[in-house]
Structure 1
C-alpha cells in the first residue's frame, strides 16, 4: 500500500500567473540567507483581509518552496497549518494558489515533508476541497455556453491543483493512502476522471493519482465496483484528439493493470490485450517526426507573419512608427516593424505540450510493460524510484537489486501476457525505441531553449526501452524474439550503441540500462549456444571503463558480462591470453571493490570462467588464481561478518553467504587442478 521510495519523478509544478507573478518571482530571486525574511512576511499576509493580498502571498510561497534552503524556515513557521485553511478560502483564486503552493511543497520537499504535511492534518481540508470542487463542477454541468463560465474554469483549475497535491502526498505517505481509502476519495476522483472529454488536464492528473494509489493497495481494490471499472474502461477507449489523450489512455492502462487481481479470470485475456493494444499504439507514434513538424509549423508561421507585416508596411507607408514613438504619437496607427515579428507569432506552447505528453506516455508505457513482466521484490522498490531529474539518473540509481544485479524478481509470464506481447509486436516496438534519438530532432530542440527538455525526455525513453528490452529477452522464448539470427543482430545493435560513444562511461544512466540489456541477452545466447558478438578488445574496454562507475548496478553488470563471455571462451581453443586477462581483471575487482555485492559477483564470475576447460586450467595456474583466492578467503569472510548487518539486506547476506561457501569449494577444486598440472 504505502510506498517506500527513495526517488521520485520530477513533477510539473504550479507556476503563479496574473498580477501576483512579479511578486512571486521577486521572492524566488532572494538568496538563501534571506529566505526566512520573505517566508515570515508571506506567511503573515496569508491572514490579510484582502483576497488579492492572500493570493499573492500564496503565489510567493509557491515560488519560495522550490528553493530547498527555504524549507526548514517554512517548517519552523508552520507553513502547512497556515496554508491548509486557505484551501477552503471564499476566493477561488486564493484556493488555487494555496493548493499550488502545497503542490510545490509536496513535490520539492520529499518524503519527510509529505509525511509532515499528513501529520499536520493537511488531508482534512484537502479532502473537503476535493468534495466541494466535485459538487461545484456537477452544479455547473449545463449548456455549452455555461461551459465558458469563468467560475467553472476556476473550479477545474482548483481541482487540478488539489489532485496533484493528493497524488504527491499519497506517493510518499502510507498514512495518506489510508486516509484516501477511508474518506472515499476514490469516488471523488473518479467523478473528475469521468469528465475526460471536456477536462483532459484534470483527467490526466487524476490518472496519475489513481496509478499511484491502486498499486499494492488491496483495501482500495475492494472499493472498485462495476461503475468504477466502467469509468476506467471509457477513458481507456476514448478517442484520441490530442497527445494528452494518448497520455491519459496510457496512465489508465497502468491503473487497470494494478487492478488485475479483482478482474475475473475469464476476462483476464481480454483486459491484457486491451492494455497492450493501447501501449503498442503509444509506442508506434514517432516523436521525432512530431518535433520536426513542430519546427516546420513555427517556420511557416514566421514566414506568414513576415509576409503580413510586409503587406502592412506597404499599405501604411508613412504611418509606420517604431514602438518607442507610439506614446508620443497616440493617434498614429501602431504597426510593428519586422524586428518585432517574434512578438506577433502565435505561441508554440500547444505543440510543445503535445510533444511532451507523447514522450511522457511512451516512457510510462515502457514502465508498464516492465511491470507486466516482473514482480517487485519487497526489499527493492526500484520501479517506484523511477526518476528523478527529468528522470533518467534517479531511475537508474537503484534499478538493480544489489543481491544479484538483476532487475526485480522474475515471474513466469502467463500465457495471456506472452500472447498479447507478441501479437501487439511489443518486442519490435521496444527494440525501435532503444536507438539514439533522431539527430535532426535533437538539433532542432537544442536550438530552442523551450524545447531543450525534450532532448532529455528522448534520452530517458531510450534508457527505459533498454531496461524493457532486458525484461523481454529474459522472459520471452527465443522463437518469439526472432530466433538465433535476431538475437545476434540485437547483440550487434547493442554493441554499436555502446561503442558509438567514446565517453559512454560518463553517461551512468545509459550505461546501466544498456549493460543490463546486454547482460540478459548474452546470458540467453550462452544458454542457447549462440555465438557471441563482442570481441575480447571491446569486452575489456567496456569493463575497464565501467568498473570505475560509482553505480553498483553498472559494476555488477560488467563483471557478470565478463563471466558469461569468459565461460563461453573457456570451452574454445587458443584463448589462453584472453582468459588470463579476464581472470586478472576479475581478481582485481573481487579483492579491491568496496562493495561486497560487486566482489561477490566477481567471485561468481571467476567460478564460471575457471570451472572447466583445458586452457582455463592453464590460465588459472599462470595468474596464481589459487594463492590469491586462498589469501582473500578469510578477508571476504571477515568483511561479511563485519559489514553485513550494517550495510546489506538479509537477502544480500544470503547471496553473499552462498558465494562464501562456493569460494571454499572452488578453492578445493583449484587445489586439485594445480596438483594435477604441476605433478
Structure 2
C-alpha cells in the first residue's frame, strides 16, 4: 500500500508557446515528412556567409522541427544540432536568437535522447556565455521605460532571447543529471531572480520560463538550495506572488509555480520546523493550489475540439519563405487550454505531495520495521522449519505466529481509530482538503469525450492529440492526488475522522471509482489500455485500483459492495500485464475479504488468492497475496475462518507452497531490488510460521 511520490520529473514539460510537448502524441498526427531535397539546402544555409540567409535557415529549421517526427529525425541525422550550436557564437544577434529558438524547440519535442545529444555537443557552454550580455541589457531595460516603437521592438527581441536561453537551461536541467551539475556551477539563480523580482515589468512568458527553471533547480538540489540559504531575500518575491489576484492562464501558472518553489524551499523558509511538519507553509500555498483546480474540463474539451477542427482544416505544409507565422485565433485558444491543463497538473502534483508528507513518517517507520525484522542475510533461515512442516513435527517452543507487524494489523488499525472529540473540519488544511480539494479531484478525474483515443486498432488520430494527451495526464494526476488525500485521511488524520464523519462521501467515492474504471477501460483492459496509443488508459486504471485499495482500508473493509465489484477486481488482476495494478487489486480484495458476515465473499476471494499463488505469479503479486492471506485469516474467531480456511483445507495448500515461495524469494537479486527481496524474505518466513500458527490455533 503506497503513496504517490513526487513525480514532477515524469511530467511533460510546459511550453509557454503552446507547442507540442509530447513527441509520441505529435507523431500520431501522421503528417508527411518534408523531403530531404528541402532540408539539405536549408541546413547548408546555416553556414552561409550571408547573415540574412543564416537567420532565415535557423528560423526555418525551428519551424520544421515542430512539423513531424520523421522530418525531425532526418534533420538531426544531418548534424542539425552541431550546426545550430555553431550559430550560437554568430556575430549577428538575429542569427543567435533564431538558433536559440530552434534549439529551444528541440528540447520541447526531442525527448531525452536528443537532450542528451545536445549536452554531448556542449550546447550549454555557448548558451551560458550569452547570459552576461543578456543580463546587462535586461538590467538596462528594467531601469527605465521604452521611449519609442523601435525601442519596444528591440525589447521584444531581448525578451524572446531571454525566454529561449532560460527554457533551454531549464529543459536540460530537468532531463539530464549531467546538465544539472553543469548548471549548478553557473550561479544562474541571481540572473533568474532578476525576473522574479520585477514581475510587473517582465512579459509573463519570461516569468513562466524563469519560474519553471527555478522550480526544477530547487527540487532536491542541495547546491541550488544553498544559494537561497545565503540569500534569504530571494524567497520574498515568491511569497509576494502567492498573494496576487490573477485571472490569466500564464499568471495562474506563475502563481502555481511559486507554490512549488516555496514547497521545495520549505526547509530554508522554516529551518526549525520538525520533520514533515511544515503547517505554516502548507497553510500559505494550499489555498492557492486549491483555487487553481477550479476548471471545467468538460467545457474545455468541447472548446478544444471545435478549435482543433478549424486548425486541422487549415493545416498546410510549412512555408519556408515565411518561417515565422503568427498563431491563429484557434491556435491561441488551444495553447491557452494546454497551458491551463499543465497548470492543473502542477497544482495536482503539489497537492499530492503535501498529502504525501503527512503520511511519509508513518511509512518510513514501517520500512524500518521490515529491515529490522529480516536483516541483510542473503540466505533465508527456516529450512529446518520447512522440514518440520513436511514431517508433521510441530515444535511448541517455536514462534506461535507471525511477527507482530503483520499478525496484529487489525488490532493496530482498531487502536488508531479511536474517536476524536475534535471537529477536525475546522482545521484550516483539513477543511480545504475536504471542502475544496476533494470535490475538485472528482471533477478533474472524470474523463471527457476528448480524453482518450477511440479503442480501435490501430489507434486512430484524435482531433486534438496535444489536448488529449494533456487531459489524460490531468486525469491521472487527479487520481494520484485523490489516492494521497485518501491516505492522509486514513493514516494521518486522528481517528480516521473523514471516513467516519464524511462516511457518505467515502462510500460515494467507492461507487464513483468503479464507474470511472468502467469508463476508462471502455472495451476492456486487454483490448484498450495496453495497446499502442492507449497506454494512458492503463495508467489511469492502475491509479483507480490504488484508490479503491486505500479507500477500502480507510473504511475498514465496510465498503458499499455490489455484486460485480469483487469479480471486477479479479478481472483487473487477470487482464492486466502491470504488476503494479495486480498488487493493488490483490490488496483491495484482501481488505474486502476481512468483512464479517460475508462468508461467501470471503470464500470467493480466498480461493482466488490460493489459486493465484499456485499459478506461480510474479514476486510482487506473490508477496501481496501471502500478506493478504495472513491478514484475512489471522484469527480463528473470524466467522469465515472455519467454513473457508479450515474446511477449504487452505493450510494444506499453503504447506505445498513453501518451497515455491522460497525459490521465488531467492531468485530476487538483492542488489538490484533490495526492498522487494526484503519483503519476499519476510513473507516466506511468515508463511512457515503462519502454517504452524494455524495448525496449533484450534488445538488450544
Q: How does 1:34-433 map to 2 (within 5 A)?
A: 43-59=43-59, 61-62=61-62, 63-64=64-65, 79-141=80-142, 142-146=144-148, 149-197=152-200, 198-224=202-228, 225-264=231-270, 269-289=279-299, 347-374=329-356, 419-425=427-433, 428-433=436-441
* Residue 633 (str. 1) matches residue 666 (str. 2): no
Change (3 A) 1:586 1:451: same
Q: Distance in 1 between matches of 2:510 and 2:80?
A: 54
Residue 621 (structure 2) aligned to one of 586, 598, 621: 598
Change (3 A) 1:417 1:233: farther
Deviations 1:203-255 (A, max 9, x none): 11221111111011122112122331123233333331412101110011101
* Residue 650 (str. 1) matches residue 650 (str. 2): no
Match of 1:473 in 2: 486
Q: CA deviation at 1:609?
A: 2.2
Q: CA deviation at 1:172?
A: 2.1
SS in 1 for 2:669: helix
Which runs of 5 or more residues in structure 1 are unaligned? 17-27, 302-344, 378-403, 405-411
Higher normalized contact order (CA 8 Å, seq sep 6+, divided by chain length): 2
SS in 1 for 2:686: helix
SS in 2 for 1:424: helix
Q: Distance in 1 between matches of 2:247 and 2:17?
A: 25
SS in 2 for 1:597: helix
Change (3 A) 1:213 1:433: same
Deviations 1:324-368 (A, max 9, x none): xxxxxxxxxxxxxxxxxxxxx972344333333222212111100
The more displaced of 271-280 and 88-97 is 88-97
Contact 2:297 2:444 in 1 (8 A): no
The more displaced of 124-133 and 248-257 is 124-133
Match of 1:512 in 2: 542
Q: Distance in 2 between matches of 1:136 and 1:270?
A: 39
Q: Distance in 2 between matches of 1:438 and 1:485?
A: 19
Contact 2:552 2:591 in 1 (8 A): yes
Contact 1:59 1:101 in 2 (8 A): yes
Deviations 1:629-654 (A, max 9, x none): 323221221232224347x5111211
The more displaced of 652-661 and 233-242 is 233-242
Deviations 1:383-424 (A, max 9, x none): xxxxxxxxxxxxxxxxxxxxx9xxxxxxx9xx9999442243
Match of 1:401 in 2: none
Deviations 1:155-209 (A, max 9, x none): 2112212222111110122332233222111111222334433410111122111
* Residue 555 (str. 1) matches residue 578 (str. 2): no
SS in 2 for 1:284: coil
Change (3 A) 1:591 1:112: farther
Q: Distance in 2 between matches of 1:535 and 1:164?
A: 51
Q: Which has the higher helix share?
A: 1
Contact 1:14 1:104 in 2 (8 A): no
Change (3 A) 1:185 1:291: same
Q: CA deviation at 1:259?
A: 0.3
Q: Distance in 2 between matches of 1:298 and 1:122?
A: 35
Q: Distance in 1 between matches of 2:329 and 2:113?
A: 39
Change (3 A) 1:244 1:457: same
Q: CA deviation at 1:425?
A: 4.3
Change (3 A) 1:14 1:495: closer
SS in 1 for 2:127: helix
Change (3 A) 1:236 1:115: same
* Residue 617 (str. 1) matches residue 642 (str. 2): yes
Change (3 A) 1:13 1:469: closer
Q: TM-score scaled by structure 2?
A: 0.71
Deviations 1:614-636 (A, max 9, x none): 43333234544334332322122
Q: CA deviation at 1:106?
A: 3.4
Contact 1:546 1:558 in 2 (8 A): yes
* Residue 533 (str. 1) matches residue 535 (str. 2): no
Match of 1:393 in 2: none
SS in 2 for 1:222: helix
Alignment RMSD: 4.2
Match of 2:514 in 1: 495
Q: Distance in 2 between matches of 1:121 and 1:366?
A: 35
Contact 2:552 2:559 in 1 (8 A): yes
Q: Distance in 1 between matches of 2:46 and 2:353?
A: 44
Change (3 A) 1:146 1:298: farther
Q: Distance in 2 between matches of 1:5 and 1:237?
A: 24
Contact 2:553 2:591 in 1 (8 A): yes
Which runs of 5 or more residues in structure 2 are unaligned? 1-5, 20-30, 311-326, 361-405, 407-415, 417-421, 455-460, 530-536
Match of 1:398 in 2: none
Deviating beyond 6 angstroms after TM superposition, the runs of 4 or more aligned structure 1 residues are: 3-6, 13-16, 37-40, 65-77, 291-299, 415-418, 436-441
Q: Distance in 2 between matches of 1:418 and 1:188?
A: 43
Q: Distance in 1 between matches of 2:471 and 2:9?
A: 24
Change (3 A) 1:135 1:426: farther
Q: CA deviation at 1:74?
A: 7.0
Q: CA deviation at 1:558?
A: 0.4
Change (3 A) 1:14 1:457: closer
Contact 1:92 1:158 in 2 (8 A): no
Deviations 1:452-487 (A, max 9, x none): 643543343233222112112212323356443332
* Residue 564 (str. 1) matches residue 583 (str. 2): no
Contact 1:430 1:468 in 2 (8 A): no
Residue 662 (structure 1) aligned to one of 675, 678, 686: 686
Q: Distance in 1 between matches of 2:74 and 2:8?
A: 25
Contact 1:181 1:220 in 2 (8 A): yes
Q: CA deviation at 1:587?
A: 2.4
Q: CA deviation at 1:554?
A: 1.1
